[in-house]
Structure 1
């Protein structure tokens, strides 16, 4: 591909518009494009890293481009860009998701892998230089291209090419360099054991599991850039929070011994409490260090280590063994129910009362899962209160709310809260859960309950009628309109008009909370 000039002389990132985008990506053998918005904080943070990567990759004839979705919405809508930043790899116009990190070196490594075949054929002279090209490199030896080792490694490489580099050599003299006697494969790493020989079955699934297990350090510091690698691993994740280097060195070395015993089954990480201590809250830990907890990220389950006990090798081993054998129940975070909750028009749900109040087979329960800091939740609050008022005299329909930052849903519940606000109706009798994803207006919410609730023997129109009757009564009783009431009415109208003008509201994620409140590693959006 012929490299194109960029808008700024000192930039190696190509700015693309609707007039240049399609021709550019169609002509590119390999190209990375970022879709961004100037106001996006993550995009602003990415910009210098992206530029550094572009400067490095241009030497290897790999072009990086960017599209401003606030001005080039036609391009972004055509590619179904749903959030910022979104990065896509293009090969001759065909796009695929970018799944690498956002640091310059991670972008460079990822795109270098993309520029190579999934499995590189190596001469004996190329083995050592190739083994040093990335943090994790897999090299195999097979006597011929159709040998089982070559075929299996090709299959694994095709699947894992985004994450690791793979090479194969048929040169018999390379076995001495690789440290093997015959056909086989070796992993080279820049951490832990730098050279590991595979001694398992030559089967794709077994080799893939071996590579993925060896690619995870026994214990490494967790940061936003590597969090999702751990979160998506499918393995439990043990966090060790340390406050200073002394704790990391002394206590951490003891925990590492346990981590080695469970390698491949449970991942262990260091977590700097000074930077990411707020993440301990999500694991039901107090802000006291050192601390440790096991998390099943995909299920939202957590097992905090008793903070009244000392973190010793023996204590941690016992804790992890009991967890792995299913002897420890997961921790359930719960606030206290407020006084007078039974008489409240909007009932407050807490972790400990969830089963009793939400799963009551005699009642339809419509729950808002919210976060106190969430702007969308704050805007919904008066409407939700109005909904509670409307259903107050209907004992078999309950309007409820749950602060999902202070309470966990029980482990047996078949969902986890992934955004705020989340609205769910728990039907009476069958306890079927119905998600609400419509407009957040009073009328639409009432109609939703009418449509999906079991106890739906009420008239929807009465909501509007009641409002009109109340307004008429207030007007008749008032000698003169009160200025503040007039202003409130005007304000309400303006708010409603503004809401109609807004784009469809996307739920704010717990991950975005981390970005707003602290530099936490546990982010949904990376």
Structure 2
């Protein structure tokens, strides 16, 4: 009897408390708590999720990062609806249609934008946090540090504590995709870099003159100095740094991709082109397109997702030189077989004058394309879809997309059903292997578009990805509905 009473009492308590249970969410960043979390006296680095009323995936990302904050107590996790406030402070001019992210502390913040599924973003973010440390240069790793070809920032701090990295840690976090930030506590090593007094710093650029900071190490002035002097003529980056660069850079950039054992002749030519660009930037008559151009060098094959960003195929012949603009997703490829300074200069000037056609990535169409689903490519899309009199439902997908894999059996069943309807076609394009027309505004995968008789107009499928919903959507748009 007593046990029954306790069970009933427990049930009553559950029902009383259940309506008041609220799923934990991220702390909202506001103008009132901004100084606490992002001001100069903030104690932890902050991760900020930017959301908006137009954002499709923001709620899901907030839920995932709410779970993540329990795993990472060393960081503060915040969210902000950019429509409401702080847009000016964070320098945001456009309302995001997808979740976007910032990392900040001590009055400094840097944008962190990586595309992909929520799971991939979380995985990438965890990798980012792992790398978020200051390198301590000592006798054991000094030779390896010297061999590092990326731009390096070395600070002499005899009393540096790894668990309390101070200004060095803040700078490392802010410039994580641009610089290798390091400190040395050893006087002899510091002296080897002409660092005599504590808190002095040097920017080391391979093949260029070192730059020294010998004033009082105060964050605003130090950051200003780093901003002014950090860029090399040619910046060497790896895959992770490429992602940071790509999604924080909104001007066209020159990207050189080489083999690991690339001949020095091509590399020297690229560096000489870099010197030429630097001289051009100082001239008043230089076009803005060239003034904003910087060279990034990757000395190995890119990962598949990075290749997709650049509209490159897995089996590309290296070396490659291209001008790429993330903002417009436009790729201009150097088509010369010889990498000479003269020919590269001519190509850049032609590009600046609008005389170079953009590169279009396209997979090869299948030899047998008579199945229920018509496979489309960038080269065949216009001919097969836009010049057709048929009605089309087209899925834009990617091999890495988990939602696309889940949809595939449903889409195949839909295509089988559609074969019984005259004038109806079901198509599919791999967005990882093909460039998609800008006017279709494909922001994620899978995306489905309906093309009626007027192919200049299209309609987005935004209903549940279920067979019944697809059938209902299609039948509502056909001239004569059929119950099939």
Q: TM-score range by the shorter chain?
A: 0.5 to 0.7
Residues 406/441 of structure 1: CA separation in 2 closer, same or farther (3 Å cut) = same
Residues 22/372 of structure 1: CA separation in 2 closer, same or farther (3 Å cut) = closer
Out of 264, 268, 272, the residue aligned to residue 250 of structure 1 is: 268
Number of residue pairs matched by the alignment: 323
Out of 117, 137, 143, the residue aligned to residue 224 of structure 2 is: 137
Deviation at 1:393, TM superposition (A): 3.1
Deviation at 1:443, TM superposition (A): 0.8
Task: Provide the C-alpha distance between the structure 2 equivalents of 1:255 and 1:88, rounded to a whole number of angstroms.
Answer: 35
Residues 339/275 of structure 1: CA separation in 2 closer, same or farther (3 Å cut) = closer
Gaps of 5+ in 2: 1-22, 39-45, 49-60, 80-95, 114-127, 135-167, 175-213, 282-287
Residues 446/98 of structure 1: CA separation in 2 closer, same or farther (3 Å cut) = farther
Deviation at 1:458, TM superposition (A): 2.2
Is 1:364–1:398's contact at 8 Å kept on the other side of the alignment?
yes
1:108 aligns to what? 170
Deviations 1:110-132 (A, max 9, x none): 999xxxxxxxxxxxxxx964898
- Decide which structure has greater helix share: 1
1:268 aligns with 2:286: no
- Aligned with 1:99: secondary structure? strand
Residues 23/415 of structure 1: CA separation in 2 closer, same or farther (3 Å cut) = closer
Is 1:371–1:403's contact at 8 Å kept on the other side of the alignment?
yes
| Match runs of 1:132-211 below 5 Å | 133=220, 137=224, 189-191=228-230
Deviation at 1:86, TM superposition (A): 6.8
Residues 24/382 of structure 1: CA separation in 2 closer, same or farther (3 Å cut) = closer
Is 2:274–2:295's contact at 8 Å kept on the other side of the alignment?
no
Residues 296/416 of structure 1: CA separation in 2 closer, same or farther (3 Å cut) = farther
Out of 230, 236, 240, the residue aligned to residue 221 of structure 1 is: 236
Is 1:25–1:90's contact at 8 Å kept on the other side of the alignment?
no
2:319 aligns to what? 290
Highest CA radius of gyration, 1 or 2? 1
Out of 431, 435, 444, the residue aligned to residue 469 of structure 2 is: 444
Task: Provide the C-alpha distance between the structure 2 equivalents of 1:441 and 1:329, rounded to a whole number of angstroms.
Answer: 41
Is 2:257–2:300's contact at 8 Å kept on the other side of the alignment?
no
Deviations 1:92-124 (A, max 9, x none): xxxx99636964579724999xxxxxxxxxxxx
Task: Provide the C-alpha distance between the structure 2 equivalents of 1:392 and 1:83, rounded to a whole number of angstroms.
Answer: 38
Task: Provide the C-alpha distance between the structure 2 equivalents of 1:426 and 1:362, rounded to a whole number of angstroms.
Answer: 10
Task: Provide the C-alpha distance between the structure 2 equivalents of 1:280 and 1:297, rounded to a whole number of angstroms.
Answer: 13
Deviation at 1:384, TM superposition (A): 0.9
Is 1:136–1:190's contact at 8 Å kept on the other side of the alignment?
no
Which stretch of the first structure deviates more once superposed, 236-245 or 442-451? 236-245
Task: Provide the C-alpha distance between the structure 1 equivalents of 2:446 and 2:78, rounded to a whole number of angstroms.
Answer: 30
CA RMSD of aligned residues (A): 4.7
Deviations 1:213-264 (A, max 9, x none): xxxx543234545745554544212101133586485233123134325645
Which stretch of the first structure deviates more once superposed, 102-111 or 425-434? 102-111
